[in-house]
Amino acid sequence: MRLILLGAPGAGKGTQAEMLMKYYKIPTISTGNIFREHISNKTDLGKQATKYMDAGQLVPDELVIELVKDRITRDDCKNGMIFDGFPRTIPQAEALDKMLNDLGISIDYVIDVDVPDENIIERMSGRRVCSKCGASYHTKHKKEKLEGNCDECASTLMQRVDDKEETVKNRLQVYHMQTKPLIEYYNKQNKVLYIDGTADVIKVHDSIMKLLGEN
Ligand code: AP5
C-alpha cells in the first residue's frame, strides 16, 4: 500500500500515519520528522531547514525532493510507504510521480484529512511531541500514560517551536496557498479519499480503514 496523507498543519496526519503504519507494517515518511532529526543532530541540512520551519514557511523544494528520493529507495519501502507532510507543493508532487514511475510503482490513495482552520489553533496549543521518536500527543485528546513521558520510548515530551499561535497562522496560510491545490492535482488522478478530521482519533482511523476497504 502506498498512501499520501494530506491536510492542514495539525489536521492529524501524523497521528493517523502512526496507526496506519502499525496496521500495514510499512514505514511512514514524514519530511517534518526527518528535518527535525537533522536539526537535533545539527547537520548542514538541519541548519538550512530550521530558519524556514521556525517561521512557518516551507523548506525549498529541491532540498525536500532530494531527501525523499534517497528515502524511498531503502529496503523498508519495498512493501509500501505512507507519506506524511510530503508532497506539499505541485513541483514536489510532480517530482514524486516521476520518482515512483522510475521505480515502476505509483500512489494508491491520497487521504485528505479535513479540519477547519478554527479547530487547528486549539489542537496545536495542546500538542506535545516526543523529543526522541517524534510520537505525538495532546493534553486533552490523546494523553500519554505517564505524564510528560512518551508511551513508545519513555523520552521527555516537549512543545514544538512552530506550534506558537503566530507561526501556526503562517503555516495555515502557506497550506492554503501552496498545499491545498494538491487535492485538485490528485483528483485528476482519481486518487483522493475525503475524511472528516474533526471526529475523535479512533473514529477518523475507522473512517479511513473503511474507505480503504479494510473493515
Ligand atoms: P510537519 O512536521 O509536516 O508539520 P505539519 O504538516 O504542519 O503537520 P503537523 O505535524 O503540525 O500536524 P499533523 O497533521 O501531523 O497533526 P498531528 O497528528 O500531530 O512540518 C513542519 C515544517 O517542516 C513545515 O512547516 C515546513 O517548514 C517543513 N516541511 C515539512 N515537510 C515539508 C515539505 N514537504 N516541503 C517543505 N517544507 C516541509 O496532530 C496535531 C495534534 O492534534 C496532536 O496533539 C494530536 O494528538 C491531536 N489530534 C490528532 N488527531 C486528532 C483528532 N481527531 N481529534 C483531536 N485531536 C487530534
Domain containing residue 84: 2-26+79-116+167-211
Average pLDDT, the chain: 94
Q: Give the pLDDT of residue 75.
A: 93
What's the pLDDT score for residue 8?
96
Residue 10 falls within a domain, yes or no?
Answer: yes
- For residue 141, what pLDDT is reported? 85
Q: Determine, yes or no, domain membership for 22.
A: yes
Residues lining ligand 1, Cβ inside 6 A: 7, 9-15, 31-32, 35, 52-53, 56-59, 64, 85-86, 88, 92, 123, 126-127, 136-138, 141-142, 162, 171, 197, 200-201, 204
pLDDT value, residue 134 = 82
Model confidence at 133: pLDDT above 90:
no
CB under 8 A, 24+ apart: contacts of 118-126: 119/198, 120/8, 120/9, 120/10, 120/11, 120/168, 120/172, 121/165, 121/168, 121/169, 123/10, 123/12, 124/9, 124/10, 124/163, 124/165, 124/168, 125/163, 125/165
Distance 85 CA to ligand 1 centre (A): 7
171 catalytic residue (yes or no): yes
Assigned domain for 156 exists:
no
Tally the domains of the chain. 1
CA 127 to ligand 1: nearest atom:
44
Q: What is the mean pLDDT of residues 110-134?
A: 91
Q: What pLDDT, on a 0 to 100 scale, did the predictor assign at position 122?
A: 84
- Please report whether residue 104 resides in a domain: yes
Greatest alpha-carbon pair distance for the chain in Å reads 46
Atom 19 of ligand 1, residue of closest alpha carbon: 14
Span from the CA of 28 to the centroid of ligand 1 (angstroms): 13
Closest Cα to atom 7, ligand 1: which residue? 9
77-86, 129-138, 184-193: segment of lowest average pLDDT? 129-138
User: What CATH number has the domain bearing residue 8?
Assistant: 3.40.50.300
pLDDT tens digits for 164-180? Answer: 888 999 999 999 999 99
> Over 80: is that where the pLDDT of 215 sits?
no
pLDDT above 90 for 148: yes
Indicate whether 31 belongs to any domain: no
**Cα 206 to ligand 1 centroid, rounded to whole Å:** 20
Dump pLDDT digits (tens) for 14-51: 999 999 999 999 999 999 999 999 998 999 999 999 99
Q: Is the residue at 135 inside a domain?
A: no
